[in-house]
Structure 1
Amino acid sequence: MSALTTVTTEQPELINAIDTIWVAICAAIIFFMEGGFALLEAGFVRSKNAMSIIAKVIVDIIFGGIAFYIVGFGIAYGNSNGWFAFDIGITSDDLGLGLTVSNKLFWFIQLGFAIAAISIVSGAVAERMKIWSYAVYVFIFCAVMYPMVADWVWNPNGWLATRGFNDFAGSAAVHAMGGFSALAAAIVLGPRFGKYKENGQVNAIPGHNLPLAAVGAFILWFGWFAFNPGSTLGAVGNWELIGTVATNTFLASAAGGISTMFYTYFRYGQIDITMTINGVLAGLVAITAGCNVVDANAAIIIGLVAGVLVDVAVLYIDKLQIDDPVGAIAVHGVNGLFGALAVGLFATDGGLFYGGGAALLGTQALGVGVIAVFSFTLTFILMKIMQKTFGIRISKREESAGIDAVSFGVEAYSTFE
């Protein structure tokens, strides 16, 4: 057998092997982003509650992961009627996605997206939600809520997918989904004690360890270069697309940080580093939907807008007296919404600013609008039900003393004599 014949014969296996390595590496890095969420959120809360936020991220992974395995994956990627699928667990059937990796590995990389979405909520409910109530919500979110949205957007038969909705790596399905769920949860829970004065003035509650939060942001930043390029679901034949996605991801994130630095400097007279951290993340969130269909210049513009939008949104959310300790609603909800709409404006094929008319923009607006309303409404209802039954908020004594000491019997920083 000639060498050419051997290569031709073995080509499918080589493609499967290369793509499997690519997806497995990306999936592992995406999973590690949970460490970024944990450190970012822990740094942005008070020291007496640092371990409680770590606990919530662990709950995201263990409860959310099991829920997504048992029920969620089948709802998202099974034989869909356009709104949800009927399969249970991980099927060995062809999912219609043209995969060159196993369904089990595809499940694992999609698990990273599911637990990223719910981790957005953990930051918005920090310092005041009961851990077991949160675990119940996590299970429902990863078993039903997120999988339904994933079905709409990424299942070949999903009602948004068939309409041409473009959400490459999840500005809408992950970030807007998580962000608007976080908004509903924060509203039902109410603000932390002492956050707002009687006259409505905001009483700032600074995070206890900003370098820790910055390290968490850097981990998330790093992980995004698997989150977005990994959504190609294969390396063979995608080298140009992977390069485009990675480049756009960086340019938008850097532009987001730059615009936030300038905006806060001219608005407040000094650079707000914590807001700059969120500006970088806002740029990442906003480019996630369209990183495959916009050019580099558009990626920079998207990032610049996102970096200003996040600060404006944080101030407006505080004005409404909605307490979000880490800025999750502004970063993920608002900029997830903007990122999905930006596809309709900046896509080189079909974007409004590129002569494509308003059709794609209309599709993007419909899709992200429905996702935002769905996630907000269902979360609001679930939180109200739990509030009226077994409760969702810790006691005032526990909130005052600190969740770590009262609920977990540990402190993030032990006192040595």
Structure 2
Amino acid sequence: MADVESRVAALEALLAGGSSLDSFQKNYSVITDALEGEGLASPSSIRAGVDMLFIVLCGVLVFFMQCGFIMLSVGAVRRKNAKNIILYILLDATFGAVAWFFFGWAFAYGPNPNASSKFIGAGWFVTYNLPKEEYVNWFFQYTFAATATTIISGSIIERTKVIAYIIYAMLVTGFVYPVVAHWVWSCDGWLSACLDSPLLEIGLVDLAGCGVVHMVGGIGGAVGAAIVGPRIGRYDASGRALAMPGHSAPFMALGVMILWFGWYGFNTGSLLGIVGQETMVPHVAIVTTLGAAGGTLGCLSYSLLVEKHWNVVNALNGALAGLVSITAACASVELWAGLVIGYIGGWIFSGCSWLLTYMKIDDPLEAAAMHGGCGMWGLWAVGWFASPSLMGNDRACGVFYGGCGGWLLGVQTIGIVVIAAWVIVLMAVIFGALHLMGILRVAPDEEKAGMDHSYHGGDAYPKDQQVADGEPFTTTTLESPAGKVKEAEGTEA
């Protein structure tokens, strides 16, 4: 009875307030001990559970982005390759999960017995000895690894062999991406901001992966597209680029909106918890929203000023360009900066897209320009726009706030250079080896016939399919305001 009375008294004292710190801690301990003694959850375990649920739900949102990639990619390719890209993105998730389980997670976040090594992790292979508390992080980080690998698919589709795709997907998810993730997001990585002695006393600021995810995927895609070569008919005899429009703008629009939806999990989940960050989570969500809006406005501005019409596909790409651009900075910039960074990202995407076309790097989804170009811009933008009030480091603020000596901009620049160099070298080796082995690109007649017909048992849209009213199912090519775009010879829809 006395024990119950002491608990009641402690609870009344807590509710009444006004007690000293020592008294508060004593009464708090009485209550929490009582909860644990009765087999009930303590406040600390409740907080941990809430954070875990938040991270899992955000991970589910990030994984759902694979559906967005499927819809976007299917809409952006010609109808004869629709099944092919569906399979490839499914293979990303499947073989990526296997690679992440066996060694990807270990290389990215595993403990390294050699404490002086800050290059790569070396523990928890096949989740051996992995603490159960880390399961939530394993799942969440897997969804990011799968995203990086999927980005590359958009650059090499419509002419890449299935076996080559499987090999590259496992190597990217299992090694190329994990090493960069270890550098930046593991507290043992040499670029990490949570390292005991971070680079220039700051470390790289990349909350949700402008560098770790988008630069890896975008630059990797550019290298792959350069080595596999352009699609048949993409350039005429004089080297002039010919239009190869996708077959469904509505599919592309649905894909973009799914990706925008999933991006809220991508960015807010990267806070790795919600307890104690109740105001930062909506801050990140708002900045993410404004980044997407800014990117859309940037690409629409480019379309109106340069192309002289409202380009719907470019506007859709602009939303994604803005989202990529704000991914690193969404927790370190003020709300207004999200709109500015996204808007600039829209122009950077448009410029990079033109440059890659000029260089004859055929990228059907323009993934290299979007994720590579805007990923680099997003990392660099932190060094210009980071708010001192949000950074909490006297050496870390954006140039527009005085620069704090320019240290942050310097760290971000170093990060861009080393990540780009790592990805270019590794992906050149991977795709170069696949090319030399003769297993990278399909035969010309198979490419002309379409990947669906050559490898997947037939078209995604059977020509004799009937709709409810009895009319035959037909498809049309995308049209510009000037009229229907004429497809190049050898590029049948």
Which category of TM-score, normalised to the shorter sequence, fits these structures?
Answer: over 0.9
1:372 aligns with 2:408: no
Aligned to 1:310: 349
Counterparts of 1:179-190 in structure 2, within 5 Å, are: 179-190=218-229
The CA distance in 2 between the partners of 1:335 and 1:136, in whole Å, is: 27
Aligned to 1:135: 166
> How far 1:35 moved relative to its partner?
0.5
The superposition leaves residues 47-95 of structure 1 with CA deviations (integer Å, 9 ceiling, x where unpaired) of: 000110011101100001110111010111112421001111335567x
Aligned to 1:353: 400
Contact 1:91 1:103 in 2 (8 A): no
Using the TM superposition, name which of 232-241 and 110-119 deviates more. 232-241
Counterparts of 1:282-293 in structure 2, within 5 Å, are: 282-293=321-332
The CA distance in 1 between the partners of 2:249 and 2:32, in whole Å, is: 53
Contact 1:184 1:377 in 2 (8 A): no
1:202 aligns with 2:241: yes
The CA distance in 2 between the partners of 1:36 and 1:182, in whole Å, is: 18
The CA distance in 2 between the partners of 1:42 and 1:7, in whole Å, is: 54
Question: Which residue, out of 29, 43, 46, partners 1:11?
Answer: 43
1:82 aligns with 2:113: no
Question: Which residue, out of 371, 382, 386, partners 1:332?
Answer: 371
> How far 1:410 moved relative to its partner?
2.8
Contact 1:43 1:213 in 2 (8 A): yes
The CA distance in 1 between the partners of 2:302 and 2:364, in whole Å, is: 21
Aligned to 1:60: 92
Contact 1:351 1:357 in 2 (8 A): no
Deviating 4+ runs (over 6 angstroms): none
The CA distance in 2 between the partners of 1:7 and 1:230, in whole Å, is: 29
The CA distance in 1 between the partners of 2:249 and 2:160, in whole Å, is: 22
Contact 1:225 1:246 in 2 (8 A): yes
> How far 1:376 moved relative to its partner?
1.4
TM-score (norm 1): 0.96
The CA distance in 1 between the partners of 2:56 and 2:129, in whole Å, is: 18
1:106 aligns with 2:145: no
TM-score (norm 2): 0.81
The CA distance in 1 between the partners of 2:237 and 2:31, in whole Å, is: 77
Aligned to 1:98: none
> How far 1:7 moved relative to its partner?
5.0
Contact 1:90 1:103 in 2 (8 A): no
Contact 1:121 1:181 in 2 (8 A): yes
The superposition leaves residues 208-238 of structure 1 with CA deviations (integer Å, 9 ceiling, x where unpaired) of: 0111011011000000000000011111111
1:118 aligns with 2:149: yes
> How far 1:416 moved relative to its partner?
2.3
The superposition leaves residues 115-159 of structure 1 with CA deviations (integer Å, 9 ceiling, x where unpaired) of: 000001000001000011110111111111100000000000100
Contact 1:117 1:175 in 2 (8 A): yes
Greater C-alpha Rg? 2
> How far 1:387 moved relative to its partner?
1.1
The CA distance in 2 between the partners of 1:220 and 1:132, in whole Å, is: 27
> Superposition RMSD on alpha carbons, in Å?
1.4
The CA distance in 2 between the partners of 1:79 and 1:125, in whole Å, is: 35
Contact 1:92 1:103 in 2 (8 A): no
Q: Which has the higher contact order (CA 8 A, sep 6+)?
A: 1
Pairs aligned (count)? 411
> How far 1:6 moved relative to its partner?
3.7
Task: Classify the secondary structure of the residue corresponding to 2:323.
Answer: helix
The CA distance in 1 between the partners of 2:167 and 2:458, in whole Å, is: 23
- What stretches of structure 2 of length at least 5 have no aligned partner? 1-6, 12-27, 36-41, 193-197, 389-396, 466-493
The CA distance in 1 between the partners of 2:170 and 2:232, in whole Å, is: 28
Contact 2:163 2:439 in 1 (8 A): no
